[in-house]
Chain A
Amino acid sequence: GAVVSQHPSWVICKSGTSVKIECRSLDFQATTMFWYRQFPKQSLMLMATSNEGSKATYEQGVEKDKFLINHASLTLSTLTVTSAHPEDSSFYICSASRPWVGSGDTQYFGPGTRLTVL
């Protein structure tokens, strides 16, 4: 299998506070992890690429000081939304890239975290 978990599944916080979201690959070691954001009835947009032991690479327009990514091991990446504001309310989804011998990497997604900032 290729199971990816996220915690929490949903979170409500007050404006100005920080929220941490965890992403874990449960049955494989991920070469790379990715963070995406999805607004209601829209597609997924890549926010950043995360490799274990190195700094994350952020997509254009994504504030690295606002969305802090830590990739502590080959099975764990965390996204911290700092000083959250209502416009940060969204569905945050991580994916973990699993390498297949003779094939290539395949991305498996977590169940997502619904963030609501009041």
Chain B
Amino acid sequence: GENVEQHPSTLSVQEGDSAVIKCTYSDSASNYFPWYKQELGKGPQLIIDIRSNVGEKKDQRIAVTLNKTAKHFSLHITETQPEDSAVYFCAASWDSGGGADGLTFGKGTHLIIQP
């Protein structure tokens, strides 16, 4: 089955700086890669996702890049703010077009924004 590795486990950055979180996946059949933000005691919130037919996607301060050949994808957050502090999870799955499989998650990155 799929295996997703995520690094780093903890990331501390100064407010206003950029943060980068990296993930690798093992199953070349995976074609859907979402990123979720989880605050303590809450469910994961989708922040951005990318499908294998594109290499990069951006939404305001958040961007995701995908390298299918190397089987890795990254989350980039620019101009970090205190409210960005949370645990971020990457995930991978296969979407046939007629329905998606369950997600395989990375272990998570605790992002700390220092004021």
Seen from chain A, the residues whose Cβ lies within 8 Å of a Cβ on chain B are 4, 6, 31-32, 34, 36, 42-46, 49, 59, 93, 95, 97, 103-112, 114
Cβ-defined contact, B101 with A49, below 8 A: yes
What are the residues of chain A within 8 A of B51 when measuring CB–CB?
103-104
A32 and B96 alpha carbons, distance in the complex (Å): 13
What are the residues of chain A within 8 A of B41 when measuring CB–CB?
112, 114
What are the residues of chain A within 8 A of B103 when measuring CB–CB?
34, 44, 46, 95, 107
Seen from chain B, the residues whose Cβ lies within 8 Å of a Cβ on chain A are 32, 34, 36, 41-46, 49, 51, 89, 95, 97, 99-108
On whether A104 and B100 interact (CB within 8 A), knowing A93-B43, A112-B43, the answer reads: yes
Q: Distance (Å) between the CB of B31 and the closest chain A CB?
A: 8
CB closest chain-B residue, reference A5: B43
A36 and B104 alpha carbons, distance in the complex (Å): 10
What are the residues of chain A within 8 A of B46 when measuring CB–CB?
106-109
Name the 10 nearest CB pairs between A and B, nearest first.
Answer: A105-B100, A46-B102, A109-B43, A104-B95, A111-B43, A112-B43, A43-B105, A109-B44, A44-B105, A34-B102
Cβ-defined contact, B42 with A111, below 8 A: yes
- Would you mind naming 24 contact pairs between A and B with Cβ atoms under 8 Å apart? A4-B43, A6-B43, A31-B99, A34-B103, A36-B102, A42-B107, A43-B107, A44-B44, A44-B89, A44-B105, A45-B105, A59-B102, A95-B103, A97-B100, A103-B51, A104-B100, A105-B95, A106-B34, A106-B46, A107-B103, A108-B46, A109-B36, A112-B42, A112-B43
A76 and B50 alpha carbons, distance in the complex (Å): 27
Cβ-defined contact, A106 with B89, below 8 A: no
Q: Distance (Å) between the CB of B112 and the closest chain A CB?
A: 15
A105 and B42 alpha carbons, distance in the complex (Å): 22
Q: Indicate the member of B89, B102, B105, B106 with the most A CB atoms within 10 Å.
A: B102
On whether A104 and B105 interact (CB within 8 A), knowing A44-B44, A111-B42, A112-B43, the answer reads: no
What are the residues of chain B within 8 A of A97 when measuring CB–CB?
99-100
